Amino acid sequence: MADGEQPFWKTKKMSQMTQAEWESLCDGCGKCCLNKIIDTDTNELHFTNVACKLLDTESCQCTHYKTRHKYVKDCVRLTPRNVKQIRWLPSTCAYRLVAEGKDLYDWHYLKCGDRNAVHRAGISGRGRIINEQDAGELEDHIVDWPSKRKARR
């Protein structure tokens, strides 16, 4: 980027981004792939440390990203249209930040050039998540770190 030039996430509306730009916003934290429980009585959302069966718990990347809906029918596809309505996106999520008119964190690879910075910063689920095939009852795996984590800029 030339001196003084603004990055695309600061100059474009989400609906104006190319597919490649949109996809590049994902920081690779893996938190959106965690199973969530909604209390039917209170409508309260609870995160678990249990990831979708397709998530590689070390890299925090989907093992079948392009065809994930073939394997996980209810996998949510983030779009410029729905990103503001999805209440479970973590506060550190680049999609959420951009939708709210905020900048990305310094550890985001679009700013620092290092895809592992999200892991070193302690933002990702690496080392804290398990695969749903190994989990048992979801209620036994409720955690608060995905939604409570405060990240520094």
pLDDT digit string (tens) for 89-140?
988 999 999 999 999 999 999 999 999 999 999 999 999 999 998 898 999 9
Question: Is position 77 within any domain?
Answer: yes
Question: Is position 153 within any domain?
Answer: no
**Total number of domains constituting the chain:** 1
Q: Tell me the two tokens of residue 49.
A: 């440390």
Query: 3-class SS at 76?
Result: coil
Question: Is position 51 within any domain?
Answer: yes
Radius of gyration of the chain (CA): 16
Question: Is position 69 within any domain?
Answer: yes
One-letter amino acid at 110 equals: L
Question: Is position 38 within any domain?
Answer: yes
**Has residue 153 got a pLDDT over 80?**
no
Question: Is position 64 within any domain?
Answer: yes
Range of the domain at 127: 17-146
Contact 104, 110 (CB under 8 A): yes
- Look at strands 45-51 and 130-131 and give their pairing: parallel
Question: Is position 91 within any domain?
Answer: yes
pLDDT given at position 70: 94
